[in-house]
Amino acid sequence: MRKVEVAPYDDNWKLIFIQEANIIKNVLKQEIIRIDHIGSTAIPGIHAKPIIDIMGEVRKIERVDHYHQEMKKLGYEAKGENGIPGRRFFIKGGDERTHHVHIFQTGSVEIERHLAFRDYLIAHPEEAQKYSELKQHLAKQFPADIESYIEGKDAFVKEMNRKAMIWKRNQTIKKKP
């Protein structure tokens, strides 16, 4: 059973991401186009489950399936799409998870959504603090119920995704001459 633990921001999360991203790049070699730190551990100053979320972008998602053995050697368990069509999802650490790897094919709207969410919360620290407080509250309320914790965040996350996508579009418009 996965327990719900939310910890204060840790500067080491960025370093842990960099180390693991380099290892994953070496496994996926020519398949990987880019790799990003996403999720709450990528947002400075907020509480998060101490699980490093890594997002990779690849040319052809089906090719990722050929790397299950190499990922297994790194301690990852392949979970297939795991609820998000077009994704390949890997977890490390079982019930004591340390890493999640989300891989999407170039052009997936999920790439833009994850990056917009992260960038929006970094650019809007007041929204990030609200998210941090919600996560802390839910972790106390549901310390042994990860599903209720996730469900409790759902409406907030959907609203932040909506705001983030609008903000991202506006940022793109501002950059155009």
Q: Looking at the domain assignment, is residue 95 inside a domain?
A: yes
Number of domains in the chain: 1
CATH number of the domain residue 25 falls in: 3.30.460.10
Is 22 within a domain? yes
| Residue 20 belongs to domain spanning | 12-175
The answer as to whether 4 is a domain residue is: no
Q: How far is CA 22 from CA 16, 26, 79, in A?
A: 10, 6, 21
In a domain, 137, yes or no: yes
6 domain residue, yes or no: no
pLDDT of 176: 67
Picking from 7, 20, 11, the residue whose alpha carbon sits closest to that of residue 54 is 20
Closest CA to 104 of 64, 161, 156, 145: 64
pTM for the model stands at 0.93
- What are 25-81's pLDDT values in tens digits? 999 998 999 999 999 999 999 999 999 999 999 999 999 999 999 999 999 999 999
Backbone dihedral angles phi then psi of residue 74, each to the nearest 5 degrees: -85, -5
Domain-embedded: residue 147: yes
**154 is a domain residue:** yes
Alpha carbon distance 173, 177 (integer Å): 9
Residue 138 lies in a domain: yes
